[in-house]
Structure 1
Amino acid sequence: MKTRTILLKICSFILVTGYFSGILTATDAYAAEDILTITQNAGYQTNEFYKPKASIVIEAQTGQVLWEDNPDLKWNPASIAKLMSVYLVFEAIEQGKFTLDTTVKATDNDQAISQIYELSNNSIVSGIAYPVRDLLYATLVQSSNVATVMLANLVTAHDEAKFIHMMNDKAKELGMTNSTFYNCSGAETGAFNGYYKPEGIDQSADNVTTARDLAILSYHLLKNYPDTVKYTSPVQITIMENTPYAEVLENHNYSLPGLAYGYEGADGLKTGSSPTGGFNYAATAKREDTRLIEIVLGVGDWEDQEGELQRHAFGNAIFDQAFATYEYKQLLTKGNNTINKEEVILDQDFYGVIQRNTTPAFKLTADKVTMDTGLSQVSPTIKAPSVSFKYAQKLKALQNGTFLKNTKKKNSLSTFFVNGLLIILGLLVMALSKLFKKETAGTTKFSPILALGILLILAGIALSTYTIVIGPWF
């Protein structure tokens, strides 16, 4: 019997130990899970060869990082660089320099660029006027290099070098600390056969940026120019309609709904590929109130064109994980709220990112409500969500002060007038006391007039304080 009891205890110990070991093993496996494992577990056929060199996912409203892997690796983004050129085009439109209906008359150089086989382009005919709207579609849907050059030249009146400097200046302004641009389209300047040649800019240099910097750029592009997705979401579109120059453009973003890797909610932004950069992907997708931005860089190798599809498998997989884990939602309503046992009044609704099925932890700091999510900001220039508040008790005390109530404004004004008179009278009495001051043999006699003046001043101050906090005293 005793032996049997000992054996039962040993078996129970082994079972319990095995159970908790399994939990710890599962936890460690999840913690160590990388983008390749996540993508394979999502059902996509891929392998180590195609694993991205860098990636990041951020929430589009707050700029908070939901996933990152080597986000500060410097990389050639290829045609994703067009997003910076488009940003400057939208900015020029906002500044009133031209409109979407403004036309750009194609030059001989533009036509020559459009005929370079090695570059991604659309058809351009010298002397024909192309609307800015259509050139934006060509840039973002077809990834047209010539359309990008035409737009850049419109912004700067054909000062090609100036546009490059504008790109770099804007990168610094937006907080893109690891980015340098040498061309407007993502294609090496030397590939344009001399038809596009920014003066003083290295023709053989590739643009350099990081996953983080491209996420920052995409954040500001969508925030400041939300219509961007109108130009990045079409699977197919015809430009120059009803003219002899009509052309059908095809989108290379295969994660758009209806294409090979169609993803629910995807509506942009831009793909890019090159011999030195491999296959890259900047994407955005929205589900309910949550919009995400992701950057995937360096998928596969230029020699293996399968990377063009594989980048979407990785992008879809980390989108799935982020959408499943986090949500952007309204967390507090404008007006009265109880936060950390304090009664507060919020100036507006409070929105933020939280893990699904969790309760947010709020902080009251100075006059702001913030939230402790454990998530970092993609850039120090992009602040975490916050909302202004007032403590309800203090506000109530002020509201009870009659000077805030319309029905007793006259009494408040009258009271403050009397309080002021007391202070002024006290000052006058103190001044008069000096005229009657009598000194004897090195000593100064007590002056009742001076004492009266001080009392009048103190009374005026005390009654003013009473009026502010409680209300009129008469």
Structure 2
Amino acid sequence: MNYMFKRTLAILLVVPVLMMTIFSAPGSADAAEDLGLRVDAAILVDADTGQILYGKNEDATLGIASMSKMMTEYLLFEAIEEGRITWDQEYTVSDYAYAVSQDRRLSNVPLRNGEKYTIQELYEALAIYSANGATIGIAETLAGSETEFIKLMSEKAEELGLKDYKFVNSTGLNNSYLQGMHPKGTGENDENVMPAKSVALLAYHLLKDYPEVLETTSIPKKVFREGTSDAIQMDNWNFMLPGLVYEYEGVDGLKTGTTDLAGHAFTGTAKRGDTRLIAVVMKAVDENGNGSYKARFDAARSLFDYGFNQFVKEEILPADHKFKGNETLPVNKGEESEVKIGLKEPVTMLVRSSEKDKYTAEFTADESKLKNGELEAPVKEGTVVGKANIVHADGEPVYGNVDGTPASFDVVTKESVEKAGWFSLTLQAIGDFFSGIWDKATGWVKGLF
């Protein structure tokens, strides 16, 4: 066998192995095929910590349709909390809200032009039935006009850390459905867009800051204006709620969305035991490539099954965990020359049950707290001095949080160190002086040889 033939054969044998290694490497976006999801994007998040458990194409900017209404809900709850409006405050229906509410192609409760409705009524219609006219009514109440309201939406998105978003209305509809009265400065066919990761981050903040939203999103059916001539049955579009066609144990929210651009999308949340998950699926299709309600709920079910079946909440590092080689930090001008450091609290994360003992942490000091590598006395117990970055012993990826931060936890001082008195400082200075002389002297002697 000549040299060239051997070399060619080796290449033919090695290349397939390399290709298998490259394309089977673990990663957030490439793991989606393992779950068989037929979606343009998806993400699964721990609702308590924001930890990402799974992602597929989660950074791609896509249509979000009525999932936009989660931002309207957030701004509404914030205004209620701050006392700017009240639940029993009344809204007088504008020509714009009236016109949109009469379009039966859309999800709506018909509103009477010039009639008064309470904010509570409008909110329930939004949260349960995804009513678009009612959503516009809330936007006009909070900002005076929908044009001003989308400015509030963008400002809040920036504040919450959302990325690559665009809001052109409060509802998530394509502007072409807004009777030619879409917000000024937006296009006639514009639509709200955002990546799945930002949608999940919005849901995370909504649940963290205003968990009472679940009291309404969990209602499967309710009659709008019951007992009046305007009464209309509101069936929740979240068919995963208990008693509905695709029910799933623990589901109590959050928001569906459907337009031509967004396809069939869904932000769902479910709780079992102490674990609450947030699942986002975007543009879900069935095995034939057709979008449907079932397709989006099947995709969400797969995500929830994955999260609840594969992960458990475990304490992976105790509060007394020691960072090898970083058990202490030096202290300048203190009664002690160093201070013990450690985790602020035990590290608890959702991990695969078989991998509880495969996690450790690496210490990264907060350089802004140090001067020439030392803490300056006095040092108080509990001072945050850095982060513990979680790593997997086998090199597997440890996904960060949905807000873009890594999987890390605060490291603090475990004791206090008082500033040394003048006498101690004088002795330290003298010691440093003679130590310096000694170092120079020994260096000079070594130089002789």
Match for residue 117 of structure 1?
Answer: 104
2: CA distance between counterparts of 1:120 and 1:459? 76
| Aligned counterpart in structure 1 of residue 124 of structure 2, from 102, 127, 137 | 137
| Aligned counterpart in structure 2 of residue 354 of structure 1, from 341, 351, 355 | 351
Contact 1:339 1:362 in 2 (8 A): no
Match for residue 95 of structure 1?
Answer: 82
2: CA distance between counterparts of 1:245 and 1:333? 59
2: CA distance between counterparts of 1:160 and 1:314? 33
Residues 75-116 of structure 1: per-residue CA shift (max 9 Å, x gap): 111111111222222222222211223222223443332111
| Aligned counterpart in structure 2 of residue 265 of structure 1, from 219, 240, 250 | 250
Deviation of 1:304 after TM superposition, in Å, equals 8.7
Q: What SS class does the counterpart of residue 122 from structure 1 fall into?
A: coil
Identity level (%): 31
Match for residue 237 of structure 1?
Answer: 222
Match for residue 412 of structure 2?
Answer: 389
1: CA distance between counterparts of 2:403 and 2:25? 32
1:314 maps onto 2:299 in alignment = yes
| Aligned counterpart in structure 2 of residue 38 of structure 1, from 31, 35, 45 | 35
Q: What SS class does the counterpart of residue 271 from structure 1 fall into?
A: strand
- The runs of 5 or more residues in structure 1 that have no matched partner are 1-23, 41-50, 404-415, 421-457, 466-474
1: CA distance between counterparts of 2:222 and 2:314? 34
Q: What SS class does the counterpart of residue 309 from structure 1 fall into?
A: helix
The residue identity in structure 1 corresponding to 2:209 is N
The answer to which structure has the higher helix fraction is: 1
| Aligned counterpart in structure 2 of residue 339 of structure 1, from 322, 327, 332 | 322
1:202 maps onto 2:170 in alignment = no
Match for residue 439 of structure 1?
Answer: none
- The runs of 5 or more residues in structure 2 that have no matched partner are 1-19, 328-339, 366-384, 431-449
Deviation of 1:364 after TM superposition, in Å, equals 3.9
| Residues 1:305 and 1:131: Cα distance change in structure 2 (over 3 Å) | farther
Query: What count of residue pairs does the alignment treat as equivalent?
Result: 369
1:180 maps onto 2:166 in alignment = yes
Deviation of 1:375 after TM superposition, in Å, equals 2.5
Match for residue 454 of structure 1?
Answer: none
Q: Which moved more, 1:210-219 or 1:324-333?
A: 324-333
Deviation of 1:293 after TM superposition, in Å, equals 1.3
2: CA distance between counterparts of 1:282 and 1:309? 14
Deviation of 1:37 after TM superposition, in Å, equals 5.8
Contact 1:89 1:151 in 2 (8 A): yes
1: CA distance between counterparts of 2:134 and 2:343? 48
The residue identity in structure 2 corresponding to 1:211 is A
> If the length of structure 1 is used for normalisation, what is the TM-score?
0.68
Match for residue 44 of structure 2?
Answer: 57
Match for residue 377 of structure 1?
Answer: 400
The residue identity in structure 1 corresponding to 2:244 is L
Residues 40-68 of structure 1: per-residue CA shift (max 9 Å, x gap): 8xxxxxxxxxx211111122222222111
Match for residue 66 of structure 1?
Answer: 53
Match for residue 3 of structure 2?
Answer: none
The residue identity in structure 1 corresponding to 2:164 is N
Deviation of 1:368 after TM superposition, in Å, equals 4.5
> If the length of structure 2 is used for normalisation, what is the TM-score?
0.72
| Residues 1:33 and 1:71: Cα distance change in structure 2 (over 3 Å) | closer
2: CA distance between counterparts of 1:318 and 1:243? 42
The residue identity in structure 2 corresponding to 1:339 is K
Contact 1:130 1:240 in 2 (8 A): no
Deviation of 1:295 after TM superposition, in Å, equals 1.2
Match for residue 152 of structure 2?
Answer: 166
Deviation of 1:145 after TM superposition, in Å, equals 0.5
2: CA distance between counterparts of 1:290 and 1:156? 36
| Residues 1:264 and 1:33: Cα distance change in structure 2 (over 3 Å) | farther
2: CA distance between counterparts of 1:355 and 1:262? 26
1: CA distance between counterparts of 2:124 and 2:154? 24
Contact 1:141 1:252 in 2 (8 A): yes
Contact 1:282 1:294 in 2 (8 A): yes
1: CA distance between counterparts of 2:281 and 2:209? 23
The residue identity in structure 2 corresponding to 1:72 is D
The residue identity in structure 1 corresponding to 2:352 is Q
1: CA distance between counterparts of 2:387 and 2:135? 43
Match for residue 4 of structure 1?
Answer: none
Residues 233-290 of structure 1: per-residue CA shift (max 9 Å, x gap): 1111234345554433111111222222211111111111112221111111122222
